[in-house]
Amino acid sequence: MNSEESRRTALVIVASTRAANEVYDDVSGPELVKGLSSWGFAVTGPQVVADGDPVAHALKSAAGRYDVILTTGGTGITPTDTTPEVTEPLLDRQLPGIQELLRAEGVRKGIPTAVLSRGLAGVAKGSLVINLPGSRGAVRDALAVLADVIEHAVAQIAGSDHESRAPGRPEFRMPTVQPDAQHGEA
């Protein structure tokens, strides 16, 4: 298998009715493409679709065809923000820790409204699917958080054991607990 055939694949879907109708140019999708490409993924997109059913259709047709599918937009609380609702039925397994980490990092950076993101993460037909907010800043912050998670998650979904790690990263070993000399216990 050559290196091109072994590259991980990713799709970026932008959920924005206004961008789909060319009211403005989307900026978050290209940011995701740039980030994923820098990690070595062969990226398709950004595919810009209107909120709602078009997002569902894009996700359904992509699930199982890509290692990673990142959506941006539609995760807030306006009436048209329905990306989580159309994503949830497609997920075979949810990964709530990813979204918990993304929201916590936003709050840590001084953005209390990060808790309003309702995005989901999970596995759909072997694809890692992660909903992200639609702002360029939120996407940049998410890429920083996901940099240490995505490759391991993709390897795990593909059936890798827990020994896999990114090239150049040291192997993780559980610290050895020394017995407490005073109490004779660990």
* Domains within the chain, CATH numbers bracketed: 3-157 (3.40.980.10)
Which value, to the nearest 10 degrees, does the dihedral of the CA atoms of residues 129, 131, 137, 143 take?
-20
| Tens of pLDDT, residues 36-87 | 999 999 999 999 999 999 999 999 999 999 999 999 999 999 999 999 999 9
| Tens of pLDDT, residues 141-152 | 999 999 999 999
Backbone angles phi, psi at 22, to 5 degrees: 60, 30
Average pLDDT, the chain: 88
Q: How far apart are CA 66 and CA 176, in angstroms?
A: 39
Residue 7: which H helix or E strand, with range? Answer: none
Average pLDDT over residues 140-167: 85
SS3 88: helix
The residues facing 49 across adjacent strands are 15
Q: At what angle do helices 136-146 and 96-108 cross, to 10 degrees?
A: 120
Instruction: Please name the amino acid found at residue 14.
Output: V
pLDDT over threshold 90, residue 6: no
Residue 133: what pLDDT?
A: 97
The alpha carbons of the chain give a radius of gyration, in whole angstroms, of 19
